[in-house]
Chain A
Amino acid sequence: MAASSIPAGGHGDPTRRDFLMVATGALGAVGVAAVAWPFINNLNPAADTLALSSVEVNVQPIAVGQAVTVKWRGKPLFIRHRTPEEIKEAEAVPLSQLRDPQTDNSRVTDTAKKVRPEWLVQIGVCTHLGCVPLGNKPGDPKGPFGGWFCPCHGSAYDTSGRIRQGPAPKNLEIPPYLFTSDTLVRVG
């Protein structure tokens, strides 16, 4: 760094000293890195936060045609018990009409690859700017495609939660979920 270096004198063995300096510097660097880790790790989610990162929902009380909203990782989770008509409607849409092409089947498959078309589990956050779309509660406007409708900027989703109209670029996100029994779904 600087023009002047370690003062040279007629002492010691310069190779030995260089070796010592390098070894100490290297060990010191290892030490600093090892100390840095707990400081960085400290800001990761805590154990109590992680313990809430998955929820188990009993879907038995949800009647056909109804939906529930559950809070999961700080966001609303939409679980909808679809009617056979809604399923049929979703399956009938050709992929070419979709902005974000996804088959209905692929959106109702759990992490064990089991398909349950009657259960649609998705994160209720509009992919445009993060509003919560309407359509999950009875009486809510469901939009022109019978699914969900975002009141902020008018994005409309179909019965499979796919974007059909408005500014949102993507379909509603499907979280990882697993039916541990016919009535119990674990999300996350």
Chain B
Amino acid sequence: MRKFIVTGAIALAALAAGAFAAYGESVSASESEAKPPHRHWHFEGPFGTYDRAAAQRGYQVYHEVCAACHSLSLLAYRNLMELGLNENQVKDLIKDIQVPDLNDDGAPIERPARLSDRFKKPFPNTAAAAAANNGKAPPDLSVIVKAREEGPDYIHALLTGYVPFDKLTPKQIKEFDVTKDDNFNKYFPGHKIGMPPPLADDKVTYVDGTKATTDQEASDVVEFLAWASEPHMEDRKRTGVRVILFLLAMAGLMYAVKRSVWSDKH
């Protein structure tokens, strides 16, 4: 029995190693996009949590920059309280936002946003969003970090990975058919991306005084969007630690019971 398990394990391990090697090769062979560099995120790992200050700055970046084109339709303003803001602070953040509604007679009106409202969309619908953006609607960002492989790394890399036209090699220009009006991004599949470089140094002025470099803005907005994608992550990990500790204790006890029951049969 033991021999059998060991042999099986070795065979599977060898095979898995081979398969992953082949997979890695195929990825690098078939795609010219650079692999997003891995960055350390505060929310990584089994005990990782969201950096509230960074996420609040990230909301500011979203609100002042991204929200012009990208919706965040699954979030409500009340959710911002989970970022460590109190009710009055959130009300203050949204006091100038007007959202569409209908009045009692069914006529469309604009009214001040309430905590229970979902984030205001920049365009009334996908067709309108596409029409205003050269035919391609900017994606909703609610779960964007989960909707991309290597989500946080990829989005940070994308936001900081633009190459100006005059910095491109003639080979790149030829191979990807880039013109002066195109936006070239090292990490975007196909490289030509509809979104012009959204961030720049001092694009926002942080209320907490943090220096707003492009890299800082990208990190902050990724922290915010990671939270938006998975708002219950901290609760999930906390619950997980408890569940696994419980199951380990249970397994230990069950094993002791099983051994004691079987003691006369071995």
Contact = CB atoms under 8 A, between A and B. Distances in A.
A51 B253 contact: no
Given A20-B256, A51-B76, 10 more contacts: A10-B264, A12-B263, A23-B253, A24-B253, A24-B256, A24-B257, A27-B250, A51-B78, A52-B116, A56-B114
A111 B243 CA distance: 42
Nearest to B115: A51
Given A48-B116, A51-B78, A52-B116, A20 B264 contact: no
A11 interface: yes
Interface residues of A, number: 20
Interface string A1-37: 0000010011110001100110110011001001000
A11 B249 contact: no
A1 B145 CA distance: 54
Contact of A20 (B78, B116, B250, B253): B253
Contacts of B249: 27
Contacts of A48: 76, 116
Nearest to A54: B116
B254 to A, nearest CB: 6
18 contacts: A6-B261, A12-B264, A17-B260, A20-B253, A20-B256, A20-B257, A24-B253, A24-B254, A24-B256, A24-B257, A27-B246, A27-B250, A27-B253, A31-B246, A47-B78, A48-B76, A51-B78, A52-B116
Contact of B260 (A12, A28, A34, A52): A12
Nearest to A34: B246
A11 B264 contact: yes
A21 B264 contact: no
A13 B246 CA distance: 26
Contacts of A23: 253
Nearest to A47: B78
Interface of B: 76, 78, 114-116, 246, 249-250, 253-254, 256-257, 260-261, 263-264
Contacts of A28: 250
Contacts of B256: 20, 24
Contacts of A6: 261
B116 A21 contact: no
A11 B263 contact: yes
A31 B248 CA distance: 12
Nearest to B253: A24
A150 to B, nearest CB: 23
A17 B76 contact: no
A6 B264 CA distance: 12
Nearest to B250: A27
Nearest to B239: A38
A52 B118 CA distance: 12
Contacts of A20: 253, 256-257, 260
- A10, A17, A20, A56: most-surrounded residue (chain B CB, <10 A): A20
Contacts of B116: 48, 51-52
Interface in A20-70: 20-21, 23-24, 27-28, 31, 34, 47-48, 51-52, 56
A23 to B, nearest CB: 6
Contacts of A51: 76, 78, 115-116
Contacts of B253: 20, 23-24, 27
The 9 A-B residue pairs whose C-beta atoms are closest, nearest first, are: A11-B264, A51-B116, A9-B264, A24-B253, A17-B260, A12-B263, A20-B257, A11-B263, A24-B257
A83 to B, nearest CB: 23
